[in-house]
Structure 1
Amino acid sequence: MARYATTDIHGCLLSLRHLLEEKIKLKPQDELYVLGDYVNKGPDSRGVLDYLMQLHQRGYQIVCLRGNHDHDLLRAAQGEITLTWGSVDDYRLTLDSFGVERPEDIPERYLRWINDLPYQFDIPGFMLVHAGYDFRQPPAEMRQQWHTMLNIKEFVFDASRTGGRRVVHGHVPTPTSEVEAQVKAQKGSIGLDTGCVYRHNPELHHLAALDLDANKLYLQPNIEPDYPIGMRY
């Protein structure tokens, strides 16, 4: 049995399937932790949700966390008018994958699934979260700050606030070489978002999975069909 973490799929279904089925060869007895951002930006948001839901139905041990893009999609479906989409193409790609014209028309089963996603999850040795924590706060308080857990971009890891556990998160696209260095050094906090959706960016365009026990990083290049997205920044 192995434990894996991955994150920030952003509609890249083919890349996700190849990572799990061909690279790490996920088995039903393994544990898979997906740290959020299943939707938006990429070509097949609905397909990613369907695939993850089917893995669970087939008996795979999978825990999915909430990401900021998942949270924003849920808010949009509830009529939140202040939602900011990355671009018109992003908006259309996401809604087209669900076969709808408006976020409010996304089928209810997807919205229920997103609504039930936890913000964080603890396993022996690790704290898992989408973006991170504000380590300036006392432990009990930092673990109640839902907005921070979804959105924080920078933080200074403090092992005294984690009970000795390491933090694994996503959210901030990071060059693959930097993530490889974090894993090799066994940092107390590891960011696994290698920007898979940014298919034109040579420093990114990978989906990463970390074997938490073997401390081994797997990198799957983006293999999606063409879709309209530019280089990051």
Structure 2
Amino acid sequence: MRTFAISDIHGCCRSFESLLQKIGFEKSDELFLLGDYIDRGPASKGVFDLILKLKEENYKVQCLLGNHEEMMLHALHHPASSEAYSWKIWNGGIETLKSFGTGLVKNIDPKYLEFIYSLPRFIEKDRFIFVHAGLNFSIPDPFADEESMLWAFDDRPVVNIPWLSGRIVVHGHRIHPREQIKDDIGRLDTYPILGIDNGCVYQKKRYNHLYAVELHTMELSFQKNIDT
């Protein structure tokens, strides 16, 4: 069985589907998706539909909550807030709502909202800790800081190696050029933090790809954005 991780799809459904085909994702494999399925790209609904279809067909897919899903839920409960406005205008919410054919989160089919509500903030499996943004190692129990799991922005945090006890943190959220992702894989023995977000939705040099890492071999597969 192979184990893959992918993060920050951001509404790029065609790129996501193409990457799954490229790695030959099978029912015997396991896939961890690290949040931010929505916003900025054109097909947030399509991303959800593909994930739900895979799960219905008994593919092993485990999904985390991302900060963009949290912003969407905030807009659901506080539609007139400045945060809801910011999500729509500056963080890709308008594109997400358009993919659902509505201008309001409350009009989205409840099955999608229920899926988002069901998402955990971290998953621990074997020697890996999967989280969207990162962990706060400045406190005794990094799992106690749920906000950092979605919003941490420190690109090279000081790591509590004894607390990790041989585990590796795999995350997205902060975009890394492909050279850094490759370099970080080579340093996991001494710095056990791996960010795999290459900024699929950002059309600039060294970015604009969706990455999958196979965690037993640490082999990287990538798909250039074919959605935008």
Distance 1:82 1:112 in 2: 24
Percent identity between the two aligned chains: 35
Hey, what does 1:120 align to over in structure 2? 122
2:192 to 188, 191, 194: 188
Which segment drifts farther, 152-161 or 173-182? 152-161
The answer to whether the aligner puts 1:218 opposite 2:221 as a matched pair is yes
> Once the 2 structures are TM-superposed, how far is the Cα of residue 105 of structure 1 from its aligned partner?
1.4
User: What code does the residue aligned with 1:177 have?
Assistant: E
**Offset from partner CA, 1:17-67 (integer Å, 9 cap, x none):** 00011x211000100000000001111111001100110000100100000
Distance 1:161 1:149 in 2: 16
Aligned residues between the structures: 221
Runs ≥4 in structure 1, deviation > 4 angstroms?
A: none
Hey, what does 2:24 align to over in structure 1? 25
> Once the 2 structures are TM-superposed, how far is the Cα of residue 185 of structure 1 from its aligned partner?
2.9
1:109 to 111, 114, 122: 111
> Once the 2 structures are TM-superposed, how far is the Cα of residue 78 of structure 1 from its aligned partner?
2.0
Contact 1:77 1:106 in 2 (8 A): no
What SS does structure 2 have at the residue aligned with 1:37? coil
CA, structure 1 residues 79+86, in 2 after alignment: closer, same or farther (shift >3 Å)?
closer
Hey, what does 1:197 align to over in structure 2? 201
Distance 2:40 2:96 in 1: 7
Distance 1:105 1:144 in 2: 33
Hey, what does 2:71 align to over in structure 1? 72
TM-score (norm 2): 0.93
Distance 1:147 1:160 in 2: 23
User: What code does the residue aligned with 2:168 have?
Assistant: R
The answer to whether the aligner puts 1:16 opposite 2:19 as a matched pair is no
> Which ranges in structure 1 are unaligned for 5 or more consecutive residues?
227-233
User: What code does the residue aligned with 1:189 have?
Assistant: I
Distance 2:186 2:23 in 1: 18
> Which ranges in structure 2 are unaligned for 5 or more consecutive residues?
none
Contact 1:79 1:104 in 2 (8 A): no
